[in-house]
Amino acid sequence: MLKRTVTCGELRAKDKDREVVLSGWVASWRDHGGVIFIDLRDISGLTQIVFGREKSGLDKGKEEELIKQAQKLRNEFVIAVKGVVSARPEGTENKKIDTGDIEVIVTEMELLNKCRELPFDFKKMDEVGEETRLKYRYLEMRVGKLKDNLVFKHKLFQVTRNYFSGKGFYEIETPFLTRATPEGARDYLVPSRVNPGKFYALPQSPQLFKQMLMVGGFMRYFQIVKCFRDEDLRQDRQPEFTQLDLEMSFIDEADIKAVLEEYVCSVFDKLMGVKVSRPFPSLSYDQAMLRYGTDKPDLRIPAEITDISDLALSCGFKVFSDAAGKGVVRGLKISDADRISLSVINEVTKEVQQLGAKGLAWIRHKEEGLTSQITKFFKPEELEELSRRFKTIKGDLLFFVADSADTVSKCLSFLRTRFYEPRKDKYALLWVEDYPLFEKDAETGRWSPMHHPFTSPAPGDIEALRSGKDEDIARVKSRAYDMVLNGSEIGGGSIRNHSLEVQDLVFRILGIDEKESREKFGFLLKALSYGAPPHGGFAFGMDRLVAQLLNLESIREVIPFPKTQKAYSPITDAPSAVDRKQLDELFIKVDVPEDLT
């Protein structure tokens, strides 16, 4: 085999007259009869190679033989060629590629492999549907943007490892075959052959292990690691995804935030060439929900939500006053809204109805003041007050939703992103903090942890925790914090309970009694009782981080072999049925109802 001496992306004018060997894929071939041009591609770039030039110095017979060989080449055939680097004739240089000043005159060629007809046109990769791309992922990554995304992810991993190693963090692995936990997402289960009837679970995160590493004295730990959650998929959710997981001892929120901000700044600096100023802005959970209707607001969008429940309660518009009695009435101002026609408003009304709203009220600020079908229900001074609250000017459009706080937030948050296209070259980072420690489960009416059950309550709220009364529990804040980038939750973490007493208190409120907690989490509780240091940590969703940095819609674009929405792998055809023999060995009987097969 001809052995490559250079890559396809590196030759320049200064390499003129060098004899080189290139290998790669035929990216494009242009057969002119007597002369054939081929763009040879490898991961580093393209080089034009030429067959049938006198410069090759071959005798006529050999030249004809070579041309004949080259004529049989097709797209994506794999070849190696020996040849001489030559400056392109004047006027035929190609400015579009880095190697465009030169070409390689071929003297010898070896066909290393053929390629069957391609499932799509490599030159129009951007237009190919995702289903086809996923099925032939190895072809897409040969040429498409996917390659660049994966290279970028590699660089992020490198920056990450360098940064944390440099700060005294130890990279330590934790098990994939671990214990099923009752809380949180559904587990992926793995049967144990040598323990009939028993199952491991794949970790939803290394949470418990990293806490035990802290008890073990490591003080600073990090890991770039896969996590597994068996929940329904979204554009930013895959059943297996990659986290940067970390944990620190003898620290508080300020220490962790400082390290994370410095890390994120170095990522932006090294990979994006963007300087990010510190400290990052911070919002409390309550403020975020009130002003943006979500705990992961995109701060590139200027519009903010305004509460008018007090005004609505006493106004003449029954829809508002009724709703304000039971829930809230809030509004969102869209500036420069003459572009938004009535038919668009009707369309948007349907959209918010699907999110649970009963309707969508609106008022325009026109030349003559606030106008709309509902303005007749308001007294002039009430309209004036509305105008004042929202600081309206001509061209503004106010949307109102009157419902429970949850529904109103969901709808107005949707409207914020519906009418604003954020600037792609801007990056808005922020912290969201002061989360409630618990939330009420709508179905069971029981308390469940908003973050996870090992999150520490705010020190001032421990007494409220002890009281056990619902209204006290509801206002207990946690020591959890999320980092948000452009409306995407790229990471979250918390200070953990290192005190066994507080951890037990939390379990009681979650309805987990001593017996159950010993049974399910006994190993962690035991560890905490052996001198656990105060500790806390964080986890970044690396797929989300990369997707945000590269302005991609879906994390599938940064995962080499992703699953579809039904958690199906188009490339391996997983999941699949297995042989009876395999199941027998595991003492597993499948019992799938007929309507599901």
Does 39 engage in binding with RNA (CB under 7 A)?
Answer: yes
- Toward RNA, which CB reaches closer, 364 or 416? 416
Nearest to 135 by CA among 152, 150, 156, 120: 120
33-70 as b/e: b if 16+ CB within 10 A? eeebbbbbbbeebbbbbbbbbeebebeeeebeebbebb
- Toward RNA, which CB reaches closer, 280 or 454? 454
Q: How far is the CB of 84 from RNA (least distance, A)?
A: 12
Among 1, 3, 14, 32, binds RNA (CB under 7 A): 32
- The whole-angstrom separation of Cα 166 and Cα 240 is 28
Task: Specify the residue for token string 């229900």.
Answer: 377
Letters for 515-554 (x = contact with RNA by CB under 7 A, - = none) are --------------------------------------xx
Q: How far is the CB of 78 from RNA (least distance, A)?
A: 15
Q: How far is the CB of 349 from RNA (least distance, A)?
A: 13
Could you count the other beta carbons within 10 Å of the beta carbon of residue 373? 9
Query: Checking DSSP bridges between strand 240-249 and strand 328-334, what pairing results, if any?
Result: unpaired
- Toward RNA, which CB reaches closer, 181 or 266? 181
Q: How far is the CB of 569 from RNA (least distance, A)?
A: 9
Among 194, 442, 577, 592, binds RNA (CB under 7 A): 442
Beta-bridge mates of residue 436: 477
Question: In a 10 Å sphere around its CB, with 0-12 CB exposed, 13-18 middle and 19+ buried, how is residue 471 labelled?
Answer: exposed
Q: How far is the CB of 66 from RNA (least distance, A)?
A: 13
- Toward RNA, which CB reaches closer, 392 or 407? 407
Site for RNA in 548-567 (CB under 7 A): 553-554, 556, 564-566
Does 65 engage in binding with RNA (CB under 7 A)?
Answer: no
Letters for 268-297 (x = contact with RNA by CB under 7 A, - = none) are ------------------------------
Does 591 engage in binding with RNA (CB under 7 A)?
Answer: no
Contact 311, 426 (CB under 8 A): no
> What is the Cβ-side half-sphere exposure of residue 3, based on CA atoms within 13 angstroms?
0
Does 96 engage in binding with RNA (CB under 7 A)?
Answer: yes
Long-range CB contacts (within 8 A, 24+) of 266-269 = 266/159, 266/163, 267/156, 267/159, 267/160, 267/545, 267/549, 268/427
- Toward RNA, which CB reaches closer, 204 or 486? 204
Does 449 engage in binding with RNA (CB under 7 A)?
Answer: yes
Site for RNA in 164-183 (CB under 7 A): 181, 183
- Toward RNA, which CB reaches closer, 52 or 331? 52
- Toward RNA, which CB reaches closer, 282 or 569? 569
Does 48 engage in binding with RNA (CB under 7 A)?
Answer: yes
Does 93 engage in binding with RNA (CB under 7 A)?
Answer: yes
Among 7, 28, 266, 387, binds RNA (CB under 7 A): 28
Does 394 engage in binding with RNA (CB under 7 A)?
Answer: no
Q: How far is the CB of 428 from RNA (least distance, A)?
A: 19
- Toward RNA, which CB reaches closer, 186 or 270? 186
Does 103 engage in binding with RNA (CB under 7 A)?
Answer: yes
Stretch that binds RNA, among 89-97, 188-196, 384-392, 468-476 (CB under 7 A): 89-97
Site for RNA in 329-368 (CB under 7 A): 354-356
Contacts with RNA: how many residues (CB under 7 A)?
Answer: 71
Q: How far is the CB of 85 from RNA (least distance, A)?
A: 12
- The whole-angstrom separation of Cα 107 and Cα 355 is 67
Q: How far is the CB of 391 from RNA (least distance, A)?
A: 29
Does 448 engage in binding with RNA (CB under 7 A)?
Answer: yes
Does 205 engage in binding with RNA (CB under 7 A)?
Answer: yes
- Toward RNA, which CB reaches closer, 45 or 395? 45
Q: How far is the CB of 90 from RNA (least distance, A)?
A: 10
Site for RNA in 115-134 (CB under 7 A): 117-121, 123-124, 127-132
Query: Checking DSSP bridges between strand 369-371 and strand 220-228, what pairing results, if any?
Result: unpaired
Site for RNA in 220-259 (CB under 7 A): 229, 231-237
The amino acid sitting at 335 is S
- Toward RNA, which CB reaches closer, 117 or 471? 117
- N- to C-terminal Cα distance for the chain? 51
DSSP string, 156-213: HHHHHHHHHHHTT-EE----SSB---SSSSPPPEEE-SSSTT-EEE--S-SHHHHHHH
- The whole-angstrom separation of Cα 261 and Cα 284 is 18
Contact 138, 122 (CB under 8 A): no
- Residue 54 has φ and ψ, to the nearest 5°, of -60, -30
- The whole-angstrom separation of Cα 366 and Cα 492 is 44
- The whole-angstrom separation of Cα 27 and Cα 47 is 10
Among 88, 155, 161, 291, binds RNA (CB under 7 A): 88
- Toward RNA, which CB reaches closer, 231 or 286? 231
Among 37, 157, 420, 561, binds RNA (CB under 7 A): 37
Does 53 engage in binding with RNA (CB under 7 A)?
Answer: yes
- Toward RNA, which CB reaches closer, 193 or 234? 234
Among 153, 364, 365, 451, binds RNA (CB under 7 A): 451
> What is the Cβ-side half-sphere exposure of residue 488, based on CA atoms within 13 angstroms?
25
Question: In a 10 Å sphere around its CB, with 0-12 CB exposed, 13-18 middle and 19+ buried, how is residue 462 labelled?
Answer: middle
Angle at 24 between CA 132 and CA 50, to 5 degrees: 115
Site for RNA in 452-471 (CB under 7 A): 452-453
DSSP 375: G
- The whole-angstrom separation of Cα 263 and Cα 209 is 23
Q: How far is the CB of 365 from RNA (least distance, A)?
A: 29
Could you count the other beta carbons within 10 Å of the beta carbon of residue 109? 20
- The whole-angstrom separation of Cα 369 and Cα 135 is 57
- Toward RNA, which CB reaches closer, 39 or 396? 39
Length of the chain: 597
Distances (CA, A) of 311 to 291, 307, 324, 378: 17, 9, 9, 10
Does 496 engage in binding with RNA (CB under 7 A)?
Answer: no
